[in-house]
Amino acid sequence: MEVSNIEEQTKSGDENRLYKMMLWSYVTVLPAAALFFVTATITDSMVLFVYLASYSLSFAVQTFSLYAVRQTIRRNQNLFPYGTGKLENFSAFLDGVLYVPTGLYLAYDALNRLLTPRPVGYALGMIPVIITGVRLVIFYLVCRRMIRETDAPSPILLSYTLSFKLALLSNIGVLFAFIVGWALIYLGLPAIGNCVDPAIGLSLAIYMIFAGTRLVWHNFRSLMDLPLTENEQLCVLKVLSAYYDRYEGVGTIYTRTSGKEKFVELELFFSENRTLGDIYMLQKDMEQSLIKKLTGLRFRINPVVSSRKGSMALRNALNEGEKTE
């Protein structure tokens, strides 16, 4: 019982840390977007317009993500263990859905600017790139630390970490490109220097399309209740074989994934002389064996005896035991 309480407290603590990190990221998005709006308008930089679109979409998606994580924190682990994982995957899915059409439009605009270059104020454009780069470094390091300290990282945490990492790499590349573009103009080659901005903008837009497609594909699959993978199902069968002498037979095996959690329910047959304590200890032993191989596991046994009335009584007693624990 003490181990179970510690696990629940740890899980709750991880979710609260994730929520606080997301809240700080959310609060700092609007000032960053405003900075990009002002500088993009003044410098007429395609790259900064791409960043403006990205930060605007990020604000919309993070609004939903905060709601999703808040609902996850408020859920009752004992009575309502299902469903909330879908909120996490849907927020990442929404991110991808918004990225793809935005990236297509920005790629079209960048291509037109590449064919007819415009003067770009590179020196002023470096300012928001450097400022937001510092922000990204801080949040990326925070996310990496949270992943190292979490057994089963949330899909939202993984999505944020990847987003911060890629955005940071993008900032470094853009800063270098702006320096090159500024140097070319300073050296008297404005025709080439002014092409640097739309070229980088086109690259960023194409990557936005690629990243959005990956988010849509991965999280669309997660929104469906798919069974565990073949290797994970094999782990379940091995555990059943290891404890074969403690039950009479196997009925239906239910497995599915939801967000970061994996659910396994086993219908096992028992003789009438098997006590509730025996079944409860079997459930705990099987769960401990599976936890070593399946992260984010939620496990239970549905006991069946020769009489239907006896089966229902056992299940109710087992449920009451879990709630008490």
Could you report the per-residue pLDDT of 225-277, keeping only the tens digit for each?
678 888 888 999 999 999 988 898 888 888 887 766 788 999 998 887 888 88
State the first-to-last Cα distance of the chain, in angstroms, to the nearest integer: 5
Give the pLDDT of residue 215.
77
C-alpha–C-alpha distance, residues 284 and 286, integer Å: 6
**pLDDT, average across residues 76-103:** 65
Q: 238 and 217 in contact (C-beta within 8 Å)? A: no
Residue 1 pLDDT greater than 60, yes or no: no
Strand duo 261-269 + 297-304: pairing = parallel
User: Over the stretch 26-50, which tens digit does the pLDDT of each residue have?
Assistant: 899 989 999 999 999 999 998 999 8
Q: List, in order of start, the domains of the chain with CATH numbers.
A: 2-223 (1.20.1510.10), 230-324 (3.30.70.1350)
CA distance 21 to 178: 31
Which tens digit of pLDDT belongs to each residue from 274-295? 888 888 899 999 999 998 888 8
Average pLDDT over every residue of 182-202: 90
DSSP per position, 36-76: HHHHHHHHT-HHHHHHHHHHHHHHHHHHHHHHHHHHHHHS-
Give the CA angle between residues 148, 95, 195 to the nearest 5°: 100
